């Protein structure tokens, strides 16, 4: 397993992160015993980074994970969880208010059976709560020892920049990571979010890294997903998100490249993501430990650049405006310099 620093922090994490949304999930998830077996297999394979959230199966995922890590050295693991989603019927049982964050952290710590959370993430933006309230609360949690680092998930690029700027202005702890939907089928974050993370020194953690299982090559476009499959059970979410002609053109090429290299399609799709140094880790879930065996080698295998370029260009990604304008007019401000700023440590995203 290879490890990468999470953003501009000193925290080393395995570049494959175990996602635990399947733990306790009814229908397409797994039970407690299987969750423990999956966790054991991941750690035995060199993984140290595990991601969960309080809302996954309404806390059951955290509970199962807590039971799974009890037999391992806690200090050798990097445990990440999140808050934001509604967790009860009371008016304040949601969002990023001081009240909800403090109660959520304590509840997560109890379920996980641990004294601290390595990475505490804001699961989404909260337009109802002032950023100052949220970040003063997070800073207090870090100073109390309950949380070590903070990050966000599903934020817009401008929200990450604004939040970190406010934290810096107030002398509070900045975020070191963003966790966003990113895979070969959905590259939206390349427009604004990924460049914002680069600018802010934040590592990118990719959720749905295998596209809900589609990039593993196990679905047939013409037959459609079976009702018992994950995509079938999540049809209202995954079909609009992934099921289209362009997706299957990409999937076919991933399968072809996998055959050429002698690895699985899932591993190939993960390696494409990890070919970008801005990506710190890919988050991958499983509902049995055999699936872990399928994708875990991506933690140590790199896709040759020419094959990565081939997959990148199956369906050209439209960056849109203003990137289109910048590319068109780049020659007006570039060309006279000895070397561009990014070659000496700058963060310019062209």
CB 12 within 8 A of CB 4: yes
In eight-state DSSP terms, residue 23 is B
Residue with tokens 């990571």: 177
In whole angstroms, what is the distance from residue 276 CA to residue 27 CA? 34
User: What average pLDDT does range 230-249 have in this prediction?
Assistant: 94
- CB-side exposure of 39: number of CA atoms within 13 Å? 31
pLDDT at residue 170, rounded to an integer: 98
Closest CA to 314 of 241, 249, 242, 243: 249
pLDDT at residue 350, rounded to an integer: 61
- Give the containing element (helix H, strand E) for 81: strand 78-83
Residue with tokens 């934020």: 155
Poorest-pLDDT segment among 72-76, 159-163, 295-299, 345-349: 345-349
Higher pLDDT, 121 or 348: 121
Per residue in 91-120, pLDDT tens?
Answer: 999 999 999 999 999 999 999 999 999 999
Packing angle, helices 131-144 and 98-112, rounded to 10: 40
How many H helices and E strands in the chain?
A: 13, 10
pLDDT at residue 343, rounded to an integer: 77
User: What average pLDDT does range 61-79 have in this prediction?
Assistant: 98
User: What is the pTM for the complete model shown?
Assistant: 0.95
Domain edges within the chain: 3-317, 321-350
Cα 295 to Cα 6, 132, 184, distances in angstroms = 21, 40, 16
pLDDT at position 145 over 70: yes
Tell me, yes or no, if 56 is annotated catalytic.
yes
Backbone phi, psi, residue 89, to 5°: -85, -15
> Which listed residue (3, 56, 219, 242) is catalytic?
56
Q: Which residues contact 109 (CB under 8 A, 6 or more apart)?
A: 115, 116, 117, 146
In whole angstroms, what is the distance from residue 233 CA to residue 169 CA? 46
User: What average pLDDT does range 247-257 have in this prediction?
Assistant: 98
CATH architecture classification, 3-317:
Alpha-Beta Barrel (3.20)
- What average pLDDT does the structure give for the chain? 96
pLDDT at position 313 over 90: yes
Cα 179 to Cα 24, 92, 204, distances in angstroms = 22, 24, 6
Tally Cβ neighbours within 10 Å of residue 317: 13
DSSP three-state, residue 236: helix
Cα 281 to Cα 228, 274, 300, distances in angstroms = 29, 7, 12
- Do you find a cis peptide bond into 226, omega within 30 degrees of 0? no
Backbone phi, psi, residue 2, to 5°: -95, 155
């Amino acid at each position: 397993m290879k490890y990468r620093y999470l953003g501009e922090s000193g925290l080393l994490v395995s570049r494959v992160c175990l996602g635990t949304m399947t733990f306790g999930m009814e229908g397409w998830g797994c039970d407690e015993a299987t969750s423990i077996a999956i966790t054991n297999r991941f750690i035995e394979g060199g993984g140290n980074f595990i991601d969960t959230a309080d809302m996954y199966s309404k806390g059951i995922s955290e509970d199962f994970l807590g039971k799974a890590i009890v037999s391992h050295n806690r200090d050798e693991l990097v445990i990440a969880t999140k808050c934001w989603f509604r967790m009860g019927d009371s008016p304040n049982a949601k969002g990023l208010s001081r009240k909800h964050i403090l109660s959520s952290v304590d509840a997560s710590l109890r379920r996980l059976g641990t004294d601290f959370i390595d990475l505490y993430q804001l699961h989404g933006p909260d337009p109802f709560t002032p950023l100052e309230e949220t970040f003063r609360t997070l800073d207090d949690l870090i100073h109390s020892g309950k949380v070590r680092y903070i990050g966000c998930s599903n934020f817009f690029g401008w929200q990450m920049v604004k939040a970190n700027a406010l934290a810096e202005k107030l002398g509070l702890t900045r975020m070191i990571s963003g966790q966003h939907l990113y895979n070969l089928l959905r590259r939206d974050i390349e427009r604004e979010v990924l460049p914002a993370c680069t600018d802010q020194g934040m590592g990118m953690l990719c959720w749905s890294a295998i596209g809900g299982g589609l990039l593993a090559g196990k679905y047939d476009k013409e037959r459609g997903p079976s009702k018992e499959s994950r995509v079938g059970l999540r049809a209202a979410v995954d079909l609009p998100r992934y099921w289209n002609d362009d997706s299957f053109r990409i999937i076919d090429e991933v399968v072809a490249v996998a055959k050429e290299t002698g690895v699985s399609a899932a591993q190939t799709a993960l390696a494409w993501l990890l070919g970008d140094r801005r990506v710190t880790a890919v988050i991958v879930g499983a509902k049995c430990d055999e699936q872990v065996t399928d994708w875990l080698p991506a933690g140590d295998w790199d896709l040759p650049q020419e094959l990565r370029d081939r997959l990148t260009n199956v369906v050209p990604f439209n960056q849109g405006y203003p990137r289109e304008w910048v590319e068109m007019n780049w020659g007006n401000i570039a060309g006279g310099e000895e070397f561009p700023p990014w070659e000496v440590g700058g963060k310019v995203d062209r």
